[in-house]
Amino acid sequence: MADIHVSGLSKAYPLARGGERLALEDVDLRIDSGEFVCLLGPSGCGKTTLLNILAGLDRPDAGSVRVGDPDTATAVTSYVFQEPRLLPWKSVRANLRFVLDRADGADERIDYWLERVGLAGRGNDYPRQLSIGQRQRVAVARALLIEPDVLFMDEPFSALDELTASRMREELLGLWQELGCTVVFVTHNPMEAAFLADRIAIMSPGPGRIVREYRVSEALPRPRDADDARLWEVSRNVVSVLKGRSSGQRA
Amino acid sequence: MTIEAIDDGAREANGREARADAVLARAAERARRQRLEGRVGTALQLASYASILLLWLLAARTLGAVVPGPIETFEFIGRELERGTLLAHLWVTTQRVLIAFVAAMVAGVAIGAAMGSSRRLDDLLQGWLVMTLTVPRILLFVVAYLTIGLTDRALVLALVITVVPTIVVAIREGTRALDASLLEMATAFRRTRAQAWRHVILPQLTPFIIGTARGALALAWKMVVLGELIGRTSGVGYQISFYFQFFNMTGILAYGVTMMVLLAAVDLGVMGVVQRLAFRWRAPVRVNSTG
């Protein structure tokens, strides 16, 4: 299984008008194997940057990152982006096959996952024939098909209508509990974080850092109900941390 | 529920149905109008070709001494076909064009993709690109014949140099326009470079490759005649220079028209089919001649 260990992580970007900007400063974060952690913060706080560094899509300028077994530091990781990022010239089935290394048994596994995300029989359709929600379901199937140890998700439901999004959140929790993989989930939506996470890492911008970690599992045992009033409470607490930070910064 | 209430309900249901029928009828009317628009389009295209033929007929009638008419010209084509000369020369020309076209496409796509993905290579080859884009085409043929000799090799080389830079420019643009987010997706799923090229990059370059292929084929097809006219003793260009020496306008037009018709047929037929096959995943595209 795969845990995540981040210490002293910093990242800077050059600005177009000259100079540089610190996107992340001195971030420490530990995520246990099988844990569901949300990175929550306003836009521009570096949460996607942090996620991309964890996923190996970007490199840190300082600090260390380890994803996976402490000895080998290897893990199967996969990613669900904010947009589906399907290959439009490939059928749904071919899009899924693209991420598989072995051909044997591929069709059965693809069919299985298509059914799990509610798209049985749509394998031969092209992405443009699907709704945005269905495309994102394919992206989720693609990410789970490779049986990841760690699943990275970058605001995967933020482009969907709330009804679809809430249904997909519930389905995601079901799949996660079944697979037992570690999930790092980026969001700017406190309610979403409260519903999904074991733990919320609250981030603030300028430069991006983790200001507080909020353990949700104590306040809200699973299984959770999307209508549970306690979700609002967690959300309010988290928002007050965020607001406190920004008002503290102004002072 | 009273009888009247049931009647009201039935009336209301009837009214809703009638309104829905009206809406559907309007949609059907729109579809009908669209189909009609399509037929009008086809008719206009036919009229466009017909007007060329008409102008040609008129020109032949008023300038009969200099301009042979379409019937005369097509009779000439028929005679040349019967003698076998037309097909023989056409075949020689086609071979030259195809060899140059294939070589130019391979080189052009490779160089264009390399320039599009490497800033350094782009800077390094900048001068060569500008030079080959701006050199007068006729100069290329003359220089090739003078340095290599009056051979097919010289002709094909000059054709390749004529065509390659336009392919390079198109493919370079295509490579620069690649969707970075899809490449990032391939990286996130640990795909190899070869897999990314085959499944992510090449499909994005395909429209640029097909688009530039049509342009390149058309350019080579038109330039080969010039090259043959200057320095070869076979091919359509040679036949045109031959009839030019005898002031035989019918012969010149016969070979010219043959080349034009063939190019249009290849461009609209073969390339159109290729385009449709390559873009099955897209909404249907309209194929227009670029020749």
Q: What does the pLDDT read at residue A1?
A: 61
Q: Which residue has the higher pLDDT, A182 or B6?
A: A182
A89:B281 CB<8 A: yes
User: Which tokens is B198 given?
Assistant: 């085959």
Distance from CA of A79 to the nearest CA of B (A): 6
Q: Which amino acid is at B236?
A: V
Q: pTM for the full model?
A: 0.80
Sign for the pseudo-dihedral over CA of B63, B65, B67, B69? positive
Q: Compute the half-sphere exposure of residue B43: CA atoms within 13 Å on the CB side of its CA.
A: 6
Please list every residue in chain A whose beta carbon sits closer than 8 Å to the beta carbon of residue B188: 55-57, 77-79, 81, 152
Q: Which residue has the higher pLDDT, B286 or A42?
A: A42
Domain boundaries, chain B: 1-67, 69-278
* Helix, strand, coil abundance in chain B, percent, nearest 5: 85, 0, 15
How confident is the model over A62-116, as pLDDT tens digits?
999 999 877 776 899 999 999 999 999 999 999 999 999 988 889 999 999 999 9
CA neighbor of A220 nearest in space, from A10, A38, A5, A13? A38
Which residue, among B281, B282, B285, would best test binding to A if mutated, counting the most A CBs under 10 Å from its CB? B281
Number of C-beta neighbours around residue A128 at 10 A: 11
Give residue B40's pLDDT band: very low, low, confident or very high (50, 70, 90): very high
Q: What does the pLDDT read at residue B7?
A: 78
**Under CATH, domain A4-76+148-250 is a member of which superfamily?**
P-loop containing nucleotide triphosphate hydrolases (3.40.50.300)
What is the percent of chain B where pLDDT is above 70?
A: 96
CA angle B85, B90, B91 (to 5 degrees): 105
> Do B144 and B158 meet the contact criterion of CB atoms below 8 Å apart?
yes
CA neighbor of A183 nearest in space, from A191, A193, B120, A125? A193
Distance from CA of B274 to the nearest CA of A (A): 15
Give residue B289's pLDDT band: very low, low, confident or very high (50, 70, 90): very low
Range in A23-27, B13-17, B45-49 the model is least confident about: B13-17
Across the range B123-146, mean pLDDT stands at 95
Q: What does the pLDDT read at residue A246?
A: 57
A88:B199 CB<8 A: no
Asked if B34 is an interface residue toward chain A (Cβ–Cβ < 8 A), one would say no
Across the range B233-257, mean pLDDT stands at 94
Q: What does the pLDDT read at residue B272?
A: 75
pLDDT at B291 over 60: no
Q: What does the pLDDT read at residue A248?
A: 43
Number of C-beta neighbours around residue B161 at 10 A: 20
> Do B158 and B103 meet the contact criterion of CB atoms below 8 Å apart?
no
Q: What does the pLDDT read at residue A16?
A: 86
A vs B, Cβ pairs < 8 A, gives 47
Across the range B42-55, mean pLDDT stands at 94
Cα(A51)–Cα(A152) distance, integer angstroms: 7
Please list every residue in chain A whose beta carbon sits closer than 8 Å to the beta carbon of residue B187: 56-57
A90:B199 CB<8 A: yes
Q: What are residue A29's DSSP bridge partners?
A: A6
Per-residue b/e over B104-129, b at no fewer than 16 CB within 10 Å? bbebbbebbbbbbeeeeebeebeeeb
A56:B282 CB<8 A: no
Please list every residue in chain A whose beta carbon sits closer than 8 Å to the beta carbon of residue B282: 88, 128
Which residue, among A85, A92, A144, would best test binding to B if mutated, counting the most B CBs under 10 Å from its CB? A85
Backbone angles phi, psi at A156, to 5 degrees: -70, -20
Contacts of B237 (CB under 8 A, 6+ apart): B93, B224, B225, B226, B227, B228, B229, B230
Strands A4-14 and A20-31: antiparallel
How confident is the model over A204-235, as pLDDT tens digits?
988 899 999 999 988 888 889 888 999 999 99
Which CATH number does B69-278 carry? 1.10.3720.10
Backbone angles phi, psi at B290, to 5 degrees: -110, -10
Q: What does the pLDDT read at residue B1?
A: 57
pLDDT at A31 over 80: yes
A57:B185 CB<8 A: no
DSSP reduced 3-state for B9: helix
> Do A127 and A95 meet the contact criterion of CB atoms below 8 Å apart?
yes
Q: Compute the half-sphere exposure of residue B238: CA atoms within 13 Å on the CB side of its CA.
A: 17
Tell me which residue in B199, B282, B283 faces A98 most closely, judged by beta carbons. Answer: B199
Across the range B136-157, mean pLDDT stands at 95
User: If contacts are CB pairs under 8 Å, which of residues 134-193 in chain B contact chain A?
Assistant: 181-182, 184-185, 187-189, 191
Nearest residue in B to A86, CA atom: B182
Instruction: Quote the distance between the C-alpha of residue A250 and its chain's center.
Output: 30
pLDDT at A17 over 70: yes
Q: What does the pLDDT read at residue A251?
A: 34
Distance from CA of B283 to the nearest CA of A (A): 9
